[in-house]
Amino acid sequence: MKKRFDIIIVGSGASGGAAAYSLADAGFRVAVLEKGRLIRREEFSKDEIAYCRRDIVTPSLFGEFHTIEQYERGEWTETPTYESGWSFWNGNIVGGSSNFMSGMFHRMHPDDFRLLSAYGTIDGANIVDWPIDYDELEPYYTLAEELAGISGRAQLHPHLGHRSSRDFPQPPTRENSVTALFDRSCRELGITPLITPRAILSQDRGERRSCYYSNYCGSYGCSSGAKGSSREAFLIPALATGNLSLLSNTHVKKILSNRTRVTGVIAVDTLTMKEFELEADIVIVAAQAHESVRLLLNSANRYHPDGLANSSGELGKNLIFSSGGAGQGVLHREDFDAKEFDAFMQRGLFVNRSILDWYIRSDWLGKKSKGGLVEFMFEHQNIIARAIKTAGSEEKLLWGEALGKKLKDRFFDTKTVRYEIFNDWLPTDACFITLDTGRRDRYGMNVGKMRLYQHPHDMKIAKETAKQCEQLLAEMGARDISSSISTLPPQNLIAGGCRFGDDPKRSCLDRNCRSHDLANLYVVDASFIPTGGSVPYTWTLYANALRVADSIIKNC
């Protein structure tokens, strides 16, 4: 007899974990199926070779890969990622990529939910309004804020939506003294610096310990439980209810369905490669946008020959990422008082500053337009990566005494301040995911083929934002200021492909992220997003998954 659950959730990352918590807490028998392994809190380390150079938490590209299509020299060319080395896997372990985030959490602005209504059409972009608005999601932003344990300080700003909670659950994490220089420079330029909300505990909370300021946060798991990852914030509490079964090393190959309902899944044990079937009353897909689309396409059957949730033909279309770019400036010891600069060099403390002044603009492109968020931080502290960059290129490689002097300057006499820009990646017909029917992964599944294209409008916004950032770094006294605005997408911020909406002919899911075609199939990862806003997605994914789970609870 096949094992049966009330609800099967495919994926244990941000959205899967949040949905699992609410549903298990409500008494449903829930199974979370996660392809990756379970890494316990105490097993996480700050090993740069393991986590950043050998990718021990992502699959080998020789067994699991994607095909990427890019427009080069007047034609579309395709390259499998095992040839390019370009990986679109993001932390395939229990808790997903939320284990490795820096925890910078931002709500979307009310305008992000009505991009078409607020700003109008843009040629070549498939802009639509969301079927829900900020007010509908706001209570779940607040709930996610409490459950994850976000630290920060509520501040007034014209580009922030209203809050129903007075302040964040915890005070801000500790800050490096460079923030005083940053704030002073902002005031000189008429900019409002904001304290960055972080899903990182600044104080102990139950079994989770506060941040220990290791100097290594982004790209690394947290061994104190301070980071509000899916595992810490949702899966561990869900397991405590006794209603959650967590099946790690379990990859879902196919969702089974009849004409009107899904009935279960076919999964494979990734260690033994043995297949098995599980049944469920409800299936929730939360495998990350590109992988959820691939699973739905690979689940085609005689009732749904084009894939599940695809009667509209929209499945895989309007794939989006986070647009923007990055830049930096270098503070030199000789330009500052010795005591002040020594304080800049104190390790582990956060810069903790964001700028929203450029989120909505009326003076850049000749009319009111969406801008973006900017996060400021120090250069990542990965020592090996920094040393390699210091050594130069193959054409001009430093050796011996010259290299030693450059390394000393890099590690002791300079401090690099970086910024990251987040702005809309507009949905277009030319950016989508489908199946590569000529290539299969180690499970025998057709791999996903992603065509990548960025609308020129996105680049204009990013470049204008970068100009403002460079002026701010110059005001801070930085030298060697540079920016990099690229059409290449960040592999860790993927959305779209299974957008929700009220019209079944133009969307895959309804306003509660339930398939228009199958009454008990839901998709809650970032693939539901029709337009991505100008912030990282994680807080919105937490909030929306809690909202969708609430709708399931109310209707069952």
For residue 288, which of 480, 17, 37 has the smallest C-alpha distance?
A: 17
165 CB-contact burial (10 Å; exposed 0-12 / middle 13-18 / buried 19+):
middle
What average pLDDT score do residues 445-451 get?
A: 98
Q: What are the backbone dihedrals phi and psi of residue 391, each rounded to the nearest 5 degrees, phi first? A: -70, -15
Angle at 253 between CA 247 and CA 258, to 5 degrees: 105
Q: What does 426-437 look like in DSSP terms, one character per residue? A: ---TT-EEEEEE
| Cβ atoms within 10 Å, residue 256 | 18
Write the CATH number of the domain with boundaries 3-119+127-156+175-201+226-555. 3.50.50.60
- Summarised one tens digit per residue, pLDDT across range 459-510 is 999 999 999 999 999 999 999 999 999 888 988 899 999 999 999 999 999 9
Of 23-27, 488-492, 521-525, 545-549, least confident by mean pLDDT is 488-492
What average pLDDT score do residues 207-232 get?
A: 95
Q: Per-residue pLDDT for 54 more than 90?
A: no
CA-CA distance, 210 to 187, in Å (whole number)? 32
- Summarised one tens digit per residue, pLDDT across range 365-411 is 888 899 999 999 999 989 888 888 888 876 788 888 888 988 888 89
Confidence band of 193 (pLDDT split at 50, 70, 90): very high
Contact residues for 369 (Cβ-Cβ < 8 A; gap 6+): 119, 360, 361, 362, 461
> What is the share, in percent, of the chain residues with pLDDT greater than 70?
99
SS3 of 225-273: the string is: CCECCHHHHHHHHHHHCCCEEEECCEEEEEEEECCCCEEEEEEEECCCC
Residue 183: the pLDDT is: 98
Tokens for 352?
């903790």
CA-CA distance, 75 to 70, in Å (whole number)? 8
Confidence band of 1 (pLDDT split at 50, 70, 90): low
- Summarised one tens digit per residue, pLDDT across range 333-374 is 999 999 999 999 999 999 999 999 999 988 888 888 999 999
89 CB-contact burial (10 Å; exposed 0-12 / middle 13-18 / buried 19+):
buried
